Amino acid sequence: MNKETLMYDTIRPVSWQDNGVRLLDQRQLPEHEVYLHITSTQALYHAIKDMVVRGAPAIGIAAAYGAVLAAKEAASKANDGFEQRFHDKLALLASSRPTAINLFNALTAAKQVNNPLHHLLAWADQWLADDITANKRIGSHGAACFGKGVNVLTHCNAGALATGGYGTALGVIRCAYQQGKLNTIYADETRPWNQGSRLTLWELQKENIPTTLIADSVAASLMQQGKVDWVVVGADSICMNGDIANKIGTYSLAVLAKHHGVKFMVAAPVTTIDINAKTGADIIIEHRLADEILPNYYKKTTASALNPVFDVTPANLISAIVTEKGVIESPDASKMQFLIS
């Protein structure tokens, strides 16, 4: 079988199975491929918060199925007060991660489903299917921006593991690789959680797509040497002026790309757009515990650490935002209106 006939689409990190949410435990990759069976909103809250599942679209899908669990739990008591109990369960899920807008978009949409106890599962299944369809369109639109022999660099993991399947940034890379357009794929290790080395490298290797892992600090020298043509990343939130929030380190890459004349692409579905965020200043940046980055020795001292999970990249550093609706070059507030119309 040649490359043109392969689809590079075998990974599904979130699904519904046996009356619960089936999650690939991404904390255990790449050493172990373990799936968890989640049957309560409390357990799903912890799974999202503790990064069993991560990536804005995948979190949104998990939340969609979480709404199914919430309805079942709310209905387990007397009929009176179902709506309040249901909304309380959704509020718990909403509190798990503050920056991934897909989480809130999914939970808001779930509240609009009529007769949720009977209809939410079909709705959540469609939410998953729509995400995969959108990712494949994103991949096609993004790959069309490339010529032949392109060198790309990606940060964090915006692949099948961060979505329903196929991926956003890695969807672009998958499609471009299938079309024979890519020369080299570089993946940042992505400190401090190493999503690049643990996840991006794992899923691309799993589908036999050759990838070169680099330390985050190598990106500048590669650009200086002319070895990067495009940086391709995902997004956890997109603002109405084209600013984006993504994994910490994305802004650094955008600044480097601008300096070296490298193009910078953001690939994400329209569900990532936060219509309430006019600019990046409106995005709530999640900060995690210092213990996640402090060596054990310093945990017994007064040493402190700053551990933001995301940063904001201004629209003027972005060459193109790619969604399932198409490509917006040099995004700004007026062009962003196209994506929500």
Cβ atoms within 10 Å, residue 245: 30
pLDDT of amino acid 6: 54
Question: What confidence tens digit (pLDDT) does each residue in 7-17 have?
Answer: 688 899 999 99
- CB of 57 within 8 A of CB of 168? yes
Q: Each residue's pLDDT tens digit in the chain (341 positions)? A: 445 545 688 899 999 999 999 999 999 999 999 999 999 999 999 999 998 998 888 999 999 999 999 999 999 876 678 899 999 999 999 999 877 788 999 999 999 999 999 999 999 999 999 999 999 999 999 999 999 999 999 999 999 999 999 999 999 999 999 999 999 999 999 999 999 999 999 999 999 999 999 999 999 999 999 999 999 999 999 999 999 999 999 999 999 999 999 999 999 999 889 999 999 999 989 898 998 999 999 988 999 999 999 999 999 999 999 999 999 999 999 999 988 87
| C-alpha dist (Å) from residue 341 to 142, 226, 242, 244, 334 | 21, 39, 15, 19, 12
Choose the final residue of a domain: 109, 133, 157: 133
Which of 330, 195, 216, 200 is CA-nearest to residue 264? 330
pLDDT at 101: 83
Q: Tell me, yes or no, whether 211 and 316 share the same domain.
A: yes
Active site residues: 236
Residues 35 and 173 grouped into a single domain: no
Domain boundary among 133, 150, 173: 133
DSSP state of 106: H
Do 306 and 175 belong to one domain?
Answer: yes
**At which of 105, 133, 161 does a domain end?**
133
Both 125 and 154 in a single domain?
no
Cα(170)–Cα(261) distance, rounded to whole angstroms?
22
Residue with tokens 């490339």: 146
Q: Do both 207 and 238 map to the same domain?
A: yes
Q: How many residues does the chain have?
A: 341
Q: 81 and 117, same structural domain?
A: yes
Cα separation, 166 vs 135, in Å, equals 6
**E strands present in 74-202:** 150-154, 182-188
Residues 6+ apart with CB under 8 A from 145: 230, 263, 265, 320, 322, 327
For 126, the domain range is 3-133
Whether residues 184 and 321 fall in one domain: yes
Q: Considering its fold, how many domains does the chain have in total?
A: 2
Which pLDDT score is estimated for 5? Answer: 45
21 and 62 in contact (C-beta within 8 Å)? yes
CATH number of the domain bearing residue 318: 3.40.50.10470
**Same-domain check for residues 55 and 40:** yes
Q: Check whether residue 106 and residue 197 sit in a common domain.
A: no
Q: Tokens representing 269? A: 């579905």
* pLDDT tens by residue, 226-255: 999 999 999 999 999 999 999 999 999 999
Q: Are residues 36 and 69 in the same domain?
A: yes
For 82, 165, 289, 293, 304, the CA distances from 298, given in Å and listed in that order, are: 48, 39, 14, 10, 8
φ and ψ at residue 232, rounded to 5 degrees: -125, 120
Q: What is the CATH number of the domain that holds 128?
A: 1.20.120.420
Both 117 and 212 in one domain: the answer is no
Q: Is 91 helix (H, G, I), strand (E, B) or coil?
A: helix
Residue 190 is encoded by which pair of tokens? 């992505």
For residues 336 and 199, state if they share a domain: yes
Strand locations in the chain (E): 14-17, 20-24, 35-38, 150-154, 182-188, 212-214, 230-233, 237-238, 244-247, 263-267, 310-313, 320-323, 326-329
